[in-house]
Structure 1
Amino acid sequence: MSAALDLGGASVLPDDVARALLIGRVWDVETGGPRVVAVQEDDVFDLQQLAGTVSELLERPDLAAAVRTAMTLPRWKTSEIVHASLTQDAARPHFLAPVDLQVIKACGVTFVDSMIERVIEERCGGDASRAAEMRELVGRALGGSISSIRPGSPAAAEAKKVLIAEGLWSQYLEVGIGPDPEVFTKAPVLSSVGLGAGIGIPAFSSWNNPEPELVLIAT
């Protein structure tokens, strides 16, 4: 695989890229608009003849077969598009977010470690210097690790009572150990950004709580 497809040792393409069917979007500088594409290792194929948007493409009943049939002559090189994306070179074709006219929803529960850190951040009011103190307080209130608690179980209900009594209950804990899964709108149409794109972070922010997430598009 080309070194240009590598981000500090972590490939921007999945490990099974040789057999995967990868769909995305590229900004086409020639037409001045987005193009739906398929990526196969270092080749990028224009799928505009199949669909003008990813949402339209995903509605096709013959999606996989149609995409594979359309992958004849590559129009771009993945390595070149990745480089343009990471250098934010708008004068060259670059990757956009792979979703377009779909509203992005989140569904499920929050990772335990992230959930606890969110509660701590909420209680600290953004003051990172109080994090250790608050983490210890939450741990004492629970009498151990929350990671062993099964969401929706009697033990979870008891933990909720304890945390409410200690003034530590949070909406994040309701998501993590409550009886019901959470479904909410993560982002509206056309609000997500692509590889290498800049994002806005408040200049006063000093707290970093990254959270891994899985993405699934239902068709």
Structure 2
Amino acid sequence: MAGENDASASALPVDWQDGVFVGRIATDAGPSPVLVVRGEAFDMSARAPTVVDLVESGDFSASGGVSLGAFGADLSRLLAPVDLQCVKACGVTFALSAIERVIEERARGDSSAAADIRARLESRVGGSIRAVVPGTPEAAELKRALIEDGLWSQYLEVAIGPDAEVFTKAPVLSSVGPDAEIGIRSDSTWNNPEPEIALLVDSRGKAVGATLGNDVNLRDFEGRSALLLGKAKDNNASCALGPLVRLFDAGFTIDDVRRAEVRLRIEGEDGYVLEGTSSMSQISRDPLDLVRQTLSEHQYPDGFALFLGTLFAPVQDRDEPGRGFTHKIGDRVTIASDRLGRLTNRVVTSRDAAPWDFGIRALIANLAGRGLLETSK
């Protein structure tokens, strides 16, 4: 992986040569875990055939790895940086996203009805919901007031109530990585990216690192009914992660996640450009509390990746006034944060995205054929 070009360099964190990262690359033999340590890449498959094995070992030195030279971030070879981990996600963890979810619900997925509902909700609950701490007596009092006003919603329940929304985002091994196509359903007419930070958590519940993610959302589907969450969230190529997981160490900690700025840029083939920034400091629930709630009454023997939710909800009109934003095929979506890098994907329909055909059986067969399964014991 020696060598580096402008495009690949821009995908890396500003201080990438000071950090330790884990990821996956496509090799001629099959997918392999890699460690990037102080700028040098190591194929770790001989010691740890999967990212899960590497994480569960707790050893993030390059011992036993094969040097690939100076890391050049060859994006054509980078895969999503998780493999056998479950991919979980938290929703409505920011006040603004809570308001937008209520709008989707009230509009029944009709984008043209959203503007009037947004104005009413923001005038009534915008300030209150931003100030309240979820699960507190003050939150319960706000709930009572909103019920009396006829403004209560199931989305406000998970925004300010004691229990966070935690759902399964994608099947194991189905996530896509940097520069891959990302999919929206072909029958969706109102949808958007969700730029987020995702934590990598081991089987013991310890958050070991963080990466960027796009938790693609179909606003029309979820707006029609929360029971359509599965169709709104889990489709072919609808989950992107990467470019690498930055491991926590003395120079990068969970506090860096708590104060991170996440930037979004959408560039359409029609010349449309949308930009936005969200601050993790405005999250309503602490990232480690979201990890705790995910682990409540559930075990994850292979660990999990956890999307932490998004502040960004694009409401700018793209075409017709009052219709808001929705994706068009060919949109280039870039999610960036200084210390995590840059994740870029091109939007297509889930039907047209590369089919997901490398699952758990294929991975086991590949590792067995490479003689690597004994390594994981």
Alignment partner of 1:151: what SS? Answer: coil
Q: Within 5 A, what are the aligned runs for 1:117-136?
A: 117-136=100-119
Cα deviation, residue 194, structure 1: 0.9
1:110 is displaced (CA, Å) by 1.0
Kept after mapping to 2: 8 A contact 1:114/1:211? no
Contact 1:42/1:77 (8 A) holds in 2: yes
Q: Which residue of 2 aligns with 1:22?
A: 21
2:92 pairs with 1:96:
no
Residue number in structure 1 paired with 2:6: 3
C-alpha distance in 1 between matches for 2:78 and 2:184: 21
- Map Cα deviations across residues 104-125 of structure 1 (whole Å, 9 max, x no partner): 2335861111221122122212
Q: Secondary structure at the match of 2:173?
A: coil
Identity rate of aligned residues, in percent? 50
Using the alignment, how far apart are the partners of 2:32 and 2:162 within structure 1? 42
1:51-82 deviation line (CA, Å, top 9, x unaligned) = 11000111114x123x2x34563168534x22
Q: Is the 8 A contact 1:117 1:209 kept in 2?
A: no
Q: Which has the higher contact order (CA 8 A, sep 6+)?
A: 2
Residues 40 and 68 in structure 2, CA contact (< 8 A), matched pair in contact too: yes
Query: Among residues 128, 133, 138, which one is paired with 2:121 in the alignment?
Result: 138
TM-score normalised by structure 1 residue count: 0.77
Find out whether 1:64 has 2:57 as its counterpart: no
Pairs within 5 Å for 1:1-219:
2-6=5-9, 11-28=10-27, 30-31=28-29, 33-40=30-37, 43-61=40-58, 63-65=59-61, 67=62, 69-70=63-64, 73-74=67-68, 78-79=72-73, 81-82=74-75, 84=76, 94-106=77-89, 110-142=93-125, 144-219=127-202
CA contact (8 A) 2:20 2:38 kept: no
Find the structure with the greater CA-based Rg.
Answer: 1
Structure 1 pair 27–143 and aligned structure 2 pair: CA distance change class (3 A): closer
Query: What is the distance in 2 between the residues matched to 1:4 and 1:20?
Result: 20
Assess if the C-alpha contact under 8 Å between 1:142 and 1:162 holds in 2: no
| Alpha carbons 2:87, 2:168 under 8 Å: kept | yes
In structure 2, the CA distance between the partners of 1:183 and 1:206, relative to structure 1 (3 Å rule), is: closer
- Read off the aligned partner of 1:12 and give its amino acid letter: A
CA deviations 1:145-203 (Å, max 9, x no partner) are: 42112212233223222333444333322221112334433333112111122222123
* Residues 22, 39 of structure 1: 8 Å contact kept: yes
Q: Tell me the distance in 2 between the aligned counterparts of 1:124 and 1:176.
A: 19
Q: Which consecutive residues of structure 2, in runs of 5 or more, have no partner in the other structure?
A: 203-377
Letter in 1 for 2:164: P
Cα distance in 2 for residues equivalent to 1:140 and 1:4: 43
CA contact (8 A) 1:112 1:146 kept: yes
Aligned length: 199
Using the alignment, how far apart are the partners of 2:89 and 2:7 within structure 1?
32
Q: Any conservation in 2 of the 1:18–1:41 contact (CA below 8 Å)?
A: yes
The answer to whether the 8 Å contact 1:141/1:162 transfers is no
Asked if 1 retains the 8 angstrom alpha-carbon contact of 2:87 and 2:169, the reply is yes
Residue segments in structure 1 that go unaligned for 5+ positions in a row: 85-93
Relative to its length, the structure with more strand (as a share) is: 2
Query: Relative to 1, partners in 2 of residues 1:179 and 1:116: Cα closer, same or farther, differing over 3 Å?
Result: same
Given the superposition, is the C-alpha separation of residues 197 and 75 from structure 1 closer, same or farther in structure 2, using an over 3 Å criterion? same
Give 1:214 shift: 2.3
* TM-score, with length taken from structure 2: 0.47
Q: Secondary structure at the match of 1:15?
A: coil
Amino acid at match of 1:27: A
- How far 1:25 sits from its partner (Å)? 0.6
